[in-house]
Amino acid sequence: MNLKTKWMKGKAILVQKTVGN
């Protein structure tokens, strides 16, 4: 897995948690 893709995926999950989705 690409490091950038992994970072983007992690950030997306973080954003979803912040939004509370």
Alpha-carbon distance 21 to 14, whole Å?
A: 10
What distance lies between CA 18 and its chain's CA centroid? 11
Task: Supply the pTM of this predicted model.
Answer: 0.38
- Residue scoring higher pLDDT (10 or 20): 10
Query: How many CA atoms, within 13 angstroms, populate the side-chain half-sphere of residue 4?
Result: 0
Alpha-carbon distance 7 to 3, whole Å?
A: 6
- Which two three-digit tokens encode residue 8? 């983007």
Count the residues in the chain.
21
pLDDT, residue 19, reads 82
Grade residue 9 by pLDDT with cuts at 50, 70 and 90.
very high
